[in-house]
Chain A
Amino acid sequence: MGKARDFLISGLVLLLGRRRRRVRRGERERVVVPEAPRNEGAELLAVFLLLASAACAVAFIVVYAVDSLPGHTQLLGLSLGLAFCFLAAALIVTGQRLVPNEELEDKYPEREHEAEQELVVQVIEESGLTRRRLLLGALAASGGAIGLALLTPLASFGPALRVSRFYRTPWSRGRRLVDEHGKPYRASDIEQDNFYTAFPEGADKEDFASPLLLVRLPTDRLQLPPENAGYDVDGIVAFSKICTHAGCAITLYRAPLFQPNEPPPALVCPCHYSTFDPSRGGTVTFGPAGRKLPMLPLEVDRVGFLLARGNFDEPVGPSWWGVRLKEPTT
């Protein structure tokens, strides 16, 4: 009881004390010089806009709660967006019409504090540390070494020093070519003016070195360079599907239907339009790719299924520093 009374009295004293100290309005000098403009119209408008904003926000909640409304995302965006837009309008009306419109001058901050700079330098110099060159050198060595040590575990992020995997492909002599669903391709499945995606039987399809492009060209139009001689099976040629420029899948095939007026057949990457000539072993005819498309030698087994007759003639995928140093491996 006594405590409560003490609180009450002290609270009263505090309140009254505050009253007395308070400076009356009108006695003090104004800081904000122009009076806030009396603008009932603008105030009414701002109030109306704020209420509209609140209404839209409530509408958002209602739309969220009611499942049966059509165009759910649109109504949600509309209501929430409008709630913010009305709020913005109200604030702009407030800023332009309802608060004092001051444009004041002030000094830019001091450009520099020469005395303070000097003091900072003095404190550091008088510590005596700057003269101990050996100590500072050793400190730098320690800091550098610790920094290096802390960075070293980054090497665990990946096998940075082993790039042999970049040469590896799942292709080898005798591996069958299958389609996306694992069905083996027969040579007779491959028609002219069409193109097919093939994978090594049983391998990971997402591996960059897996997917192949298959096209059939008229044998008399085939002008394979000497190193690719005999890579085809009756005009069927196979290339890596991954562009040697930046690693996109090549999904465009330009097959001329009106020879000889139309440009020759071409495999085109849709990312940067590197263009490769399948009849010449995948050489680049246009676009940024700096390297021919890797070609896979083919053969057919006795039943007529398409098989690889070896590995690609070039490493697969975008170029890196070692792409011309080694042949692909299995």
Chain B
Amino acid sequence: MIRGLVRFVDRRSGGAPFLRKALRYLFPDHWSFLLGEVALYAFIVLVGTGLYLTFFYEDSTAKVVYRGPYQPLAGHEMTHAYRSVLDLSTTVKAGLLMRQTHHWAANVFVAAIFLHLLRVFFTGAYRKPRELTYWIGLTMLFTALLEGYLGYSLIDDLLSGMGLAIGYGVVLSIPFIGANLAELIWDGPFPGSHVFFPRMFIVHVLVLPVLIGVLLTVHLALVVLRHHTQFRSDPRATEHRIVGVPTFPGQTPRSLGLFAAVAGVLFLLGGLVQINPIWLWGPYHTYSATNGAQPDWYLGWLIGALRLMPSFDLTIRGYTLVPNPFWGGVALPLLIFVLLLLWPWLERRFTGDRAYHNLLDRPRDAPGRTAIGMAVLTSVAVVFVAGSSDRVDVLFGVSYSAQIWLYRVLFFVGPVIAGLLAYWCCHELQRGERVERERKRAEQLARGSV
């Protein structure tokens, strides 16, 4: 039967040579190479659960009085959008499971991409010939941030409304064009006209997912065309020869197993661990807000950056050049994104290394890169932690304003310390290895002479 199937496919597509190669394509074996795969599988779960959700969601902001089974909100005025998600969560069988799994999958998706980026950065996997793969990956990460933000903004509960107001403030703050851009997106001042939610909906369920899907395809195609990178741990692995497990039979059960594990953990989280209980937040009104509101984790660094900025709008003769939210909401993420995009080129400029690299560095092998990477990571970590300063105040009684001043200082001092420390660690590790090598050689010599 297998022979018949293979013959059928080959005769109609001529695909047998390709299929044979694909089956024996090699995957170097290291746990950190699975992080990207986790992101891919989370994306598949996102598309599947998301598709389910679209069949229940209504993108209308027309008002309706709630008369559903959830008593605490009985008689409240709300939008159709919020009511539809409320109904999905309370009356549709398995609706809450799908919604919570979708939300968890979004969190895991971004986390996996982020960790994958760290692995790629600190091992130098982005170097020639894989810069394109790296740039596409970065674009996907920042697209995923926007996609996640739009996803929880669609619900129109109190938290998502507050998030949208902040997003509006950030768009308004863009120099020269902020107000005009906001008029285009919202079709008028906040909260915008009735077309805004349908726009957001179609961007969330079509435009951005298709974009991510296309980028993902190109990303994977490029990985396959240039083959995987590998660590030096196996002596057979060189710049010219790859050592690894073939797609079939070795890798297939592992990858499928990883997919099943990701799906399993996400459904367990979706069923057992509550996330975004929107019925507790209530509907959004422009005039209401709640204390202790936090965005999903991957936007924590932006809320922290918004909070850390001291009070000023850059103004020239009454013309407001740079309103305050621009720094934290646009400038910082843009700076980090551009820095990461330019990094392969910057590194080439400074090290003069233009060679092909199929072998990965360990972080210690490139102390300069590791130090700069740790410095940037530390600055992002500081603003990320600053985003939780209000919770720290409530939970541990540490004064909010004292924390803000601490983080303002740490934002500049922390990266320097972390960078120097990382540089020193790399050097010590290298030195340790050198000493060890010499000791071994001396031992061998001694043994030889005896």
Q: Give Cα A9–Cα B187 distance, bound, in whole angstroms.
A: 73
Bits for B193-237, please: 1 = Cβ < 8 Å to A, else 0. 100000000000000000000000000000001110000001010
Contact of A105 among B165, B241, B307 (CB under 8 A): B241
- Given contacts A105-B241, A160-B180, whether A273 and B390 have CB atoms under 8 Å apart is yes
Q: In the complex the two chains form, is A91's CB within 8 Å of B179's CB?
A: no
A318 to chain B, nearest CB (A): 4
Q: Give Cα A197–Cα B313 distance, bound, in whole angstroms.
A: 27
Q: In the complex the two chains form, is B268's CB within 8 Å of A246's CB?
A: no
A252 to chain B, nearest CB (A): 6
Q: In the complex the two chains form, is A272's CB within 8 Å of B236's CB?
A: no
Write the chain B residue with the least CB distance to A95.
Answer: B253
Q: In the complex the two chains form, is B267's CB within 8 Å of A84's CB?
A: yes
Asked if A208 lies at the interface with its beta carbon under 8 angstroms from chain B, I say yes
Q: In the complex the two chains form, is A248's CB within 8 Å of B307's CB?
A: no
Asked if B288 lies at the interface with its beta carbon under 8 angstroms from chain A, I say yes
Bits for B308-347, please: 1 = Cβ < 8 Å to A, else 0. 1111110100111101110011000000000000000000
Q: Which residues of B contact A157 (CB under 8 A)?
A: 184-185, 187
Asked if B189 lies at the interface with its beta carbon under 8 angstroms from chain A, I say yes
- Given contacts A205-B287, A325-B318, whether A81 and B267 have CB atoms under 8 Å apart is yes
Q: In the complex the two chains form, is B270's CB within 8 Å of A77's CB?
A: yes
Q: Which residues of A contact B94 (CB under 8 A)?
A: 64, 73, 76
Q: In the complex the two chains form, is A245's CB within 8 Å of B165's CB?
A: no
Asked if A158 lies at the interface with its beta carbon under 8 angstroms from chain B, I say yes
- Given contacts A77-B271, A317-B190, A319-B323, whether A104 and B243 have CB atoms under 8 Å apart is yes
Interface of A is mostly: loop
Q: Give Cα A75–Cα B251 distance, bound, in whole angstroms.
A: 33
Q: In the complex the two chains form, is A206's CB within 8 Å of B191's CB?
A: yes
A258 to chain B, nearest CB (A): 18
- Given contacts A108-B240, A247-B169, whether A159 and B183 have CB atoms under 8 Å apart is yes
Q: Give Cα A252–Cα B226 distance, bound, in whole angstroms.
A: 57
- Given contacts A99-B249, A166-B179, A320-B172, whether A211 and B287 have CB atoms under 8 Å apart is yes
- Given contacts A77-B270, A83-B264, A105-B236, whether A99 and B226 have CB atoms under 8 Å apart is no
- Given contacts A248-B165, A271-B289, whether A166 and B189 have CB atoms under 8 Å apart is yes
Q: Which of A91, A99, A247 has the most CB of B within 10 A?
A: A247
A199 to chain B, nearest CB (A): 8
Asked if A298 lies at the interface with its beta carbon under 8 angstroms from chain B, I say no
Q: Which residues of A contact B179 (CB under 8 A)?
A: 163, 166, 320-322
Q: Which residues of B contact A208 (CB under 8 A)?
A: 189-191, 286
Q: In the complex the two chains form, is B313's CB within 8 Å of A290's CB?
A: yes
Q: Which residues of A contact B422 (CB under 8 A)?
A: none
Asked if B449 lies at the interface with its beta carbon under 8 angstroms from chain A, I say no
Contacting A at CB under 8 A, from B250-279, are 250-254, 256-261, 263-272
- Given contacts A78-B268, A94-B253, whether A286 and B188 have CB atoms under 8 Å apart is no
Q: In the complex the two chains form, is A252's CB within 8 Å of B291's CB?
A: yes
Q: Give Cα A67–Cα B170 distance, bound, in whole angstroms.
A: 46
Write the chain A residue with the least CB distance to B307.
Answer: A272
Write the chain A residue with the least CB distance to B236.
Answer: A105
Interface segment among B96-104, B146-154, B436-444: the answer is B96-104
Write the chain B residue with the least CB distance to A53.
Answer: B260
Q: In the complex the two chains form, is B267's CB within 8 Å of A77's CB?
A: yes
Interface size on A, as a range, is: 35 or more
Asked if B242 lies at the interface with its beta carbon under 8 angstroms from chain A, I say yes
Q: In the complex the two chains form, is A249's CB within 8 Å of B249's CB?
A: no
Asked if B358 lies at the interface with its beta carbon under 8 angstroms from chain A, I say yes
B18 to chain A, nearest CB (A): 14
Q: Which residues of A contact B26 (CB under 8 A)?
A: 104-106
A285 to chain B, nearest CB (A): 9
Asked if A144 lies at the interface with its beta carbon under 8 angstroms from chain B, I say no
Q: In the complex the two chains form, is B253's CB within 8 Å of A109's CB?
A: no
Asked if B110 lies at the interface with its beta carbon under 8 angstroms from chain A, I say no
Contacting A at CB under 8 A, from B46-95, are 93-94
Asked if A146 lies at the interface with its beta carbon under 8 angstroms from chain B, I say no
Q: In the complex the two chains form, is B324's CB within 8 Å of A245's CB?
A: yes
Asked if B138 lies at the interface with its beta carbon under 8 angstroms from chain A, I say no
Bits for A40-73, please: 1 = Cβ < 8 Å to B, else 0. 0000000000000000000000001000000011
Q: Which residues of B contact A106 (CB under 8 A)?
A: 24, 26, 241-242, 244
Q: Give Cα A102–Cα B246 distance, bound, in whole angstroms.
A: 7
- Given contacts A247-B190, A248-B165, whether A289 and B324 have CB atoms under 8 Å apart is yes
Q: In the complex the two chains form, is B272's CB within 8 Å of A77's CB?
A: yes
Q: Give Cα A269–Cα B311 distance, bound, in whole angstroms.
A: 14
Asked if A218 lies at the interface with its beta carbon under 8 angstroms from chain B, I say no
Write the chain B residue with the least CB distance to A209.
Answer: B189
B257 to chain A, nearest CB (A): 3
A171 to chain B, nearest CB (A): 14
- Given contacts A245-B169, A291-B313, whether A99 and B250 have CB atoms under 8 Å apart is yes
Q: Which residues of A contact B162 (CB under 8 A)?
A: 248-249, 271
Q: In the complex the two chains form, is A324's CB within 8 Å of B183's CB?
A: no
Q: In the complex the two chains form, is A324's CB within 8 Å of B315's CB?
A: yes
Q: Which residues of B contact A317 (CB under 8 A)?
A: 169, 172, 189-190
Q: In the complex the two chains form, is A108's CB within 8 Å of B189's CB?
A: no
Q: Give Cα A180–Cα B401 distance, bound, in whole angstroms.
A: 33
Q: In the complex the two chains form, is A100's CB within 8 Å of B243's CB?
A: no
Q: Which residues of A contact B315 (CB under 8 A)?
A: 324
Q: In the complex the two chains form, is A103's CB within 8 Å of B245's CB?
A: yes
Q: In the complex the two chains form, is B172's CB within 8 Å of A318's CB?
A: yes
Q: Give Cα A251–Cα B324 distance, bound, in whole angstroms.
A: 21
- Given contacts A78-B272, A157-B187, whether A319 and B320 have CB atoms under 8 Å apart is yes
Asked if B125 lies at the interface with its beta carbon under 8 angstroms from chain A, I say no
Asked if B166 lies at the interface with its beta carbon under 8 angstroms from chain A, I say yes
- Given contacts A77-B267, A197-B287, A270-B289, whether A288 and B311 have CB atoms under 8 Å apart is yes
Q: Which residues of A contact B251 (CB under 8 A)?
A: 95
Q: In the complex the two chains form, is A85's CB within 8 Å of B265's CB?
A: yes
CB-defined A-B contacts under 8 Å, sample of 17: A32-B249, A76-B97, A77-B100, A77-B269, A77-B271, A81-B264, A84-B267, A86-B264, A104-B24, A108-B239, A154-B184, A205-B286, A251-B291, A286-B311, A290-B313, A320-B179, A320-B182
B residues whose Cβ falls under 8 Å from a Cβ of A: 3, 24, 26, 29, 93-94, 96-97, 100-101, 129, 162, 165-166, 168-170, 172-173, 175-176, 178-191, 193, 225-227, 234, 236, 239-246, 249-254, 256-261, 263-272, 285-293, 303, 306-313, 315, 318-321, 323-325, 328-329, 356, 358, 390, 400-401, 404
The 3 closest A-B pairs by CB, nearest first: A77-B271, A84-B264, A246-B169
Known: A77-B267, A84-B260. 13 other contacts (CB 8 A): A76-B271, A81-B267, A92-B254, A100-B249, A101-B250, A107-B240, A158-B193, A248-B162, A248-B289, A250-B289, A284-B311, A319-B323, A321-B320
